[in-house]
Amino acid sequence: ALKTNIGGTLNLVKLSHQYGVKRFVLVSTDKAVNPSSVMGASKRICEYIIHAYALLYPKTTLYTAVRFGNVLGSRGSVIPTFNRQIDDGGPVTVTHPDMTRYFMSIAEAANLVIHAACMTKNNEIFLLQMGETVKILDIAERMIRLRGLRPYIDIPIEFTGMRPGEKMHEELRHEQEAPSETAHP
């Protein structure tokens, strides 16, 4: 996470400045808000890198970040894991019965990243309106039912407990950040 996120971002930011790239968009995460894991901390540092370059070199590249929650169907999404577990007859593993996350589709995420690139004036973090949080347990139960099966009867659900650095509920912004509306709905 450190090498890829921080090193990769720093290299790309330097190259963007060197070659006069017009716009640079960092895809950040809600895990960067009050980070409790290496992944979240590394993304928060990436946001600081973008901020620093936006302040140091305001006339070359427009630097911005987009911060949002989980993308359904992406590599780290819970959906493929649940599908595999259901295909195998269970159990479906859920961290905690009350754990929630924000979700969006790949198409929504890609669209919003492109809009952020078009809208940036430099040095912004776009906080996307993610809607309501969703319980991970609700997703697991719905996926089981969509297969015509019964949760806890046909397919067991096991609670594995939270891992170190994992949050019960993600946040989209820091307390000191004062979001403002944009022209984009």
pLDDT (0 to 100) of residue 60: 86
Active site residue 3: no
The whole-number pLDDT of residue 76 equals 74
End-to-end CA separation in angstroms for the chain: 32
**C-alpha dist (Å) from residue 1 to 8, 40, 46:** 10, 9, 11
**H-state helical runs in 88-180:** 106-119, 136-146
φ, ψ for residue 143, nearest 5 deg: -65, -40
Considering only CA atoms, which of 112, 158, 150, 156 is closest in space to residue 131? Answer: 112
pLDDT at 97: 96
The confidence score (pLDDT) of residue 151 equals 97
Contact 78, 38 (CB under 8 A): no
Q: From the candidates 3, 31, 43, 167, give the one annotated as an active-site residue.
A: 31
Q: What is the pLDDT of residue 174?
A: 63
Per-residue pLDDT, 29? 87
- Note the pLDDT of residue 53: 95
Q: Which parts of the chain have pLDDT scores under 70? A: 173-174, 177-180, 184-185
pLDDT of residue 176: 73
Residues 53-79: b if buried by 16+ CB within 10 A, e if exposed: bbeeeeebbbbbbbbbbbbbeeeeebe
Contact of 65 with 50, CB cutoff 8 Å: yes
The tokens for 148 are: 């015509």
Indicate the length of the chain as a whole number. 185
Distance of alpha carbon 137 from alpha carbon 95, whole angstroms: 9
